[in-house]
Structure 1
Amino acid sequence: MNGAVIENLSNRKLFGIFVVLLCVQILFFLIGAIYAPSPSTFMEFEMIKCHDSSKGITNEWFHRENCQLIDDLSQFTPSSFDMREIVFVAKMPHARDGIELEYSPWFQFLLGVLHVDVEYSEHFKYVEHAPLSLEVRMGYRTKESGKNDWQELSSTNVSRILECSIKDEDKKEGRSYDCDMLDLFEFGSSNYPFYLVNIRIPINQAACRYNPKSPNCQIGKISELRLIEIHQNGGFTLIWLWMKTLLTPIVSGCLYWYWRRIHQLARNPLLLEKAILALGLSLAILDFPIEWISLTLRVPFLLLVSDLRQGLFYTILFSFWLIFAGEHLIDDTTRNNIMSYRFNLSFIITASFALLIYDLVERGVQLYNPFYSVWASETGSNIAYFTIFVGAICTVCYFAFLFYKIVKVWTTIRRKRAAQLYQNSENRRLKVEGVIYRFKFLMLFTLLCSAFTILAYFMKQYGEAQLHSDDARDGFLTGSTSAFFTGTFGMCNIYVLLLLAMYAPSHKHYKGASQLIDEEDDEIVDDGTHTESNALTTFLKPNTD
């Protein structure tokens, strides 16, 4: 039978590989720290107020050139009670230093949150948890279109809950409430260079008299609307895509080499080998730079595809860690059987399926209605935060359980070594000692990689939650965190490549029960009945005497 590369590779070659991988890992961190900008950035727009004498009948687009500007809403007297003649307008992006900026496909996604400025008033009182209803139109134009030739991208009614607070000493006319940010829109790709947003806040006076809790009846005195738009930095996208582009052929080639080594054996692949193969395949899918397509084609579902690929990789990675530790822990009657892990894997599969449903609902609806958000309502926000909280708790518990299993494996190694190892010949003792040290290194690397992967996942989820909150402008994803994400991404690739290389069947063969097999003339004994390719699992096999 074949031994694994990890048990047959010389110490000098193994040390050289580790040094190279360490240098590559440092390079990933340096790329993010030196060359990559922050993952996301924002633009803030104070929406201008325009007077529409037609009250929306003409379906006209309002922008700065045709706007009858309303300087101060408190000085404006509407001609009707429905307030539909007031239009809040924002053109994105705004001009800077007299130059008209434009959005690029490199931005990958666009997220908009709305800040409502509410003034304290004795006549128009704000009531807590006030329902807010907005009539929103989103238009776009291309570089070839005329300056004011806007095409409709989406038009819908948006319902949100307005959460504001004010201190007792600030309850004076003209003072402002402190209001939470409201989700407005999210695009999974940046398809057009220019966007135009028109917002109306209609009030149904008859509905207010019948039910004071009707939309816009308790929102108080609104003075301004401010739009904060957040997008992925083009420079970060460029670095990220080039890393994935360079890693894809390397991972694919190593995966193919590992698959050939496995299928050249005169036996069926083992569970651990299948798990490594599945992990490598999921990494190849994650690394494939499909985002290049969005630079030339309109791909609104790209954000959903990215979430699905990442979810697949995390699911297989977490499952692999359990199998990797468990295959060196359980006895021969249950080893190499996926059903032995059904209880542990069921938690991972259930959590992944729940997050998949959540993501399909959130991202799926946004494909045709970018103004939909699960964060829009109080119930939806609670569910979203609850999902993130449960996910964080589950990942911490998972990491603790994984750490427990690895410690148990190390305890088993120490007990076995004390009981059996030094009863063997000097050559076999040195051989197995070397395998043990190498396995311990991989276990330590597994702990380190799992810690950084789980931390990166949690921080990404936390950062996305910040984008939907008052911390959107100063959140984690808009800070200088590129080095952490590029370093973690590189670590995951290095870890999987190391597993593919170290656990592939070696080209050296066992031909007898006690034949010398390696260049160091170390002796290793095979009992003729064991089915594992790893010498360490042979060593950990429980006594049957």
Structure 2
Amino acid sequence: MASGSVIENLSTRKLCFLLLSLAVAQAVFFAVGALLAPVPSSSMEFEMVKCSDKTRGASGEWFYVRPQNCDLIEDLSTYTPQSFDLREIVFVAQMPHARSGLQLEYSPWFQFLLGLLHVEVEYSDHFKYVAGASLKLEVRMGVRSLAEGPEEWREYMETNVTRTLECTIDKNKRSEGNTYDCDTLDLFELGSNNYPFYLMNIRIPIDREACIRDASSPNCQIGKINSLNLVAIHQNGGFTMVWLWLKTLLSPIVIAAVYWFNRRLSLLPRQKLLLEKAILSLGVALIVLDAPIEWVSLFTKLPCLLLLSDLRQGLFYTVLFSFWLIFAGEHLIDDPQLNNLWSYRMNLSLVAVASLSLLIYDMAERGMQLADPFYSIWSSETGSAIAYISIYVALLCTLAYFAFLFYKIVVVWNSIRRKRAAHLYRTSENRRLKVEGVIYRFKFLMLFTLLCSALTIAAYFMRQFGEASLHGDSPDDSIMTHSTSAFFTGTFGMWNIYVLLLIAMYAPSHKEYAGSEGLVDESEDLISGERVESNLLTTFLKPATD
């Protein structure tokens, strides 16, 4: 008597019930995102108030507007500065807004806070703007808690920020009073939202001597600036709540399933097969992804939350992409290479290079932002070159990977079709019926794999494109600020369903069948060299020896 995996021994009735249950669960995930979760992110725009500081920063005081501590400058075009360096002009944004007489506040449920800056440059024949001008800002960020008074601001960060100001204007608008169309600049990004109130004080100083020595020095070619507009983007608290509860409910289920799968494998009188190890690794990666560590950020400061989320997502993508190659390859690989991870070294190298490239970019960007939230890898030529190289290398490897994966799946599919029509398993009615059932189940898994890979690719590029759009000129048009919640929750649920289905289908079965000895005997001629115990479909797809 011998036992196989669940995919071989599960009855059709139980299999249909399992698949129906998973289909209902998948529909629930999409419905939760569509009906319960708001859009992932929201934005709030601030036209920065202009204040006059006669001490030019020597006093160290904060300037704010609620309650007002600001010598207001109504219009910069009519304002006469007392000094050339312009440090007496302070641009002020107090976040969040007050609405209907009530002061709004940020919440830890918002998870992150992204600040973008739009500079309004007026065309001037006297103060000329030069393309690619270097803009240097002296920035102070203040914070206060609910327990502190409206005037008790504490310094969170003081730094100098340098960005490249890229602006364009039509030829027919090059006259006094018209404004340039300038790219939006990244200002800051906080990986967690730890304070209810934030205050920004920004100065744009000009060094006369530096401009005389070198006209391309910071702020010497930025033209005539009329105003600054700050856009603050945060994750919606309602979306965070739905996302967290999904993780909290799924996490123990996945942990229990992985534990059960590993225990079943450990009871077998053999070592784990490569495919089983790959499924186990995928389950562990899903546990890491599902872990609801965001709960911690609601009660304590966790500035590395955004970086941790990226690293967990990257780990899951890496293991998932690697698994797909092994899943397809283990049913086609030649006998001497059976159950050997080294035989996949060339295939997995694409995944490794892409993952490493994105890891370098992530650590260079969000890793540095842990120490300085105003840091941007795009603010220097060297940093921009590193970022572009990392992204392009990852993109090329990803495209090559999916082309190769599609090829592997096509080969597997054709092998099933050819073998099914051959006489290989027709010598025994028991064997024919057994393999027929397994083939249908494997085809379903392969179709589910194709669907999962397609939605995973879409989710990956939607997230990357959406986050890039948040940093672009029209953050309100980003897909992250539109109704994509159902897609994200649905895809997240699909990953969990896919991994749970693999665990359920490839776990060793406790059932034994009277005809199983005959099946083993008939498969012996299919395996050359050292005999390796594997599931029936893998054995079936092996090329017959002469």
2:61 partner letter: E
Structure 1 contact 392–458 (Cα < 8 Å) conserved: no
Q: Does 2:292 align with 1:295?
A: no
Measured after TM superposition, the shift of residue 376 of structure 1 is 2.9
- Find the counterpart in structure 2 of residue 535 from structure 1: 536
Measured after TM superposition, the shift of residue 416 of structure 1 is 2.0
Trace 1:74-153 onto structure 2 (pairs within 5 A). Answer: 74-153=77-156
Q: Does 2:60 align with 1:63?
A: no
* Of 193, 196, 199, the match for 1:196: 199
- Partner Cα distance (1:34, 1:441) in 2: 29
Trace 1:339-358 onto structure 2 (pairs within 5 A). Answer: 339-358=342-361
Describe the shift of the 1:448–1:349 C-alpha distance in structure 2 as closer, same or farther (beyond 3 A). Answer: same
Deviation larger for 16-25 or 378-387: 378-387
Q: Does 2:329 align with 1:326?
A: yes
SS at match of 1:230: strand
Measured after TM superposition, the shift of residue 544 of structure 1 is 1.9
SS at match of 1:506: coil
- Partner Cα distance (1:487, 1:395) in 2: 23
- Find the counterpart in structure 1 of residue 378 from structure 2: 375
* Of 152, 161, 165, the match for 1:162: 165
Measured after TM superposition, the shift of residue 525 of structure 1 is 4.4
Aligned residues: 539
Task: Name the TM-score, length of structure 1 as normaliser.
Answer: 0.96
* Of 440, 460, 463, the match for 1:437: 440
- Find the counterpart in structure 2 of residue 237 from structure 1: 240
1:152 partner letter: E
Measured after TM superposition, the shift of residue 106 of structure 1 is 0.2
- Partner Cα distance (1:423, 1:11) in 2: 22
- Find the counterpart in structure 1 of residue 465 from structure 2: 462
- Partner Cα distance (2:261, 2:287) in 1: 13
- Find the counterpart in structure 1 of residue 284 from structure 2: 281
- Partner Cα distance (1:174, 1:366) in 2: 38
Describe the shift of the 1:276–1:245 C-alpha distance in structure 2 as closer, same or farther (beyond 3 A). Answer: same
Deviation larger for 384-393 or 425-434: 384-393
Structure 1 contact 188–304 (Cα < 8 Å) conserved: yes
Structure 1 contact 513–527 (Cα < 8 Å) conserved: no
- Partner Cα distance (1:54, 1:399) in 2: 61
- Find the counterpart in structure 1 of residue 406 from structure 2: 403
Structure 2 contact 133–164 (Cα < 8 Å) conserved: yes
1:177 partner letter: Y
SS at match of 2:192: coil
SS at match of 1:229: strand
Structure 1 contact 255–277 (Cα < 8 Å) conserved: yes
- Find the counterpart in structure 1 of residue 44 from structure 2: 43
- Give 5+ residue unaligned stretches, structure 2: none
Deviations 1:276-329 (A, max 9, x none): 000000001100100000000000011111111111111110000000000001
- Partner Cα distance (2:379, 2:41) in 1: 22
Structure 2 contact 354–393 (Cα < 8 Å) conserved: no
Describe the shift of the 1:382–1:98 C-alpha distance in structure 2 as closer, same or farther (beyond 3 A). Answer: farther
- Partner Cα distance (2:26, 2:368) in 1: 39
Trace 1:403-422 onto structure 2 (pairs within 5 A). Answer: 403-421=406-424
- Partner Cα distance (1:105, 1:423) in 2: 64
Structure 1 contact 513–526 (Cα < 8 Å) conserved: no
Give identity over the alignment, percent: 66
SS at match of 1:214: coil
Q: Does 2:234 align with 1:226?
A: no
Measured after TM superposition, the shift of residue 23 of structure 1 is 0.6
- Partner Cα distance (1:257, 1:424) in 2: 37
- Find the counterpart in structure 2 of residue 9 from structure 1: 10
Structure 1 contact 3–510 (Cα < 8 Å) conserved: no
Task: Name the TM-score, length of structure 2 as normaliser.
Answer: 0.96
Structure 1 contact 131–160 (Cα < 8 Å) conserved: yes
- Find the counterpart in structure 2 of residue 28 from structure 1: 29
SS at match of 1:116: strand
- Find the counterpart in structure 2 of residue 519 from structure 1: none
SS at match of 1:505: coil
Measured after TM superposition, the shift of residue 363 of structure 1 is 1.3
- Give 5+ residue unaligned stretches, structure 1: 517-522
Structure 1 contact 505–533 (Cα < 8 Å) conserved: no
1:9 partner letter: L
Structure 1 contact 134–159 (Cα < 8 Å) conserved: yes
- Partner Cα distance (2:440, 2:531) in 1: 22
Q: Does 2:252 align with 1:255?
A: no
Measured after TM superposition, the shift of residue 105 of structure 1 is 0.2
- Find the counterpart in structure 1 of residue 501 from structure 2: 498
- Find the counterpart in structure 2 of residue 335 from structure 1: 338
Structure 2 contact 361–391 (Cα < 8 Å) conserved: no
Structure 1 contact 2–533 (Cα < 8 Å) conserved: no
- Partner Cα distance (1:103, 1:397) in 2: 43
Measured after TM superposition, the shift of residue 467 of structure 1 is 1.2
- Partner Cα distance (1:117, 1:395) in 2: 39
Structure 2 contact 45–232 (Cα < 8 Å) conserved: yes
1:47 partner letter: M
Q: Does 2:426 align with 1:426?
A: no
1:167 partner letter: D
- Partner Cα distance (1:375, 1:477) in 2: 21
Measured after TM superposition, the shift of residue 358 of structure 1 is 1.5
- Partner Cα distance (2:41, 2:227) in 1: 26
Measured after TM superposition, the shift of residue 423 of structure 1 is 2.9
Deviations 1:126-168 (A, max 9, x none): 0000000000000000000011100000000000000000001
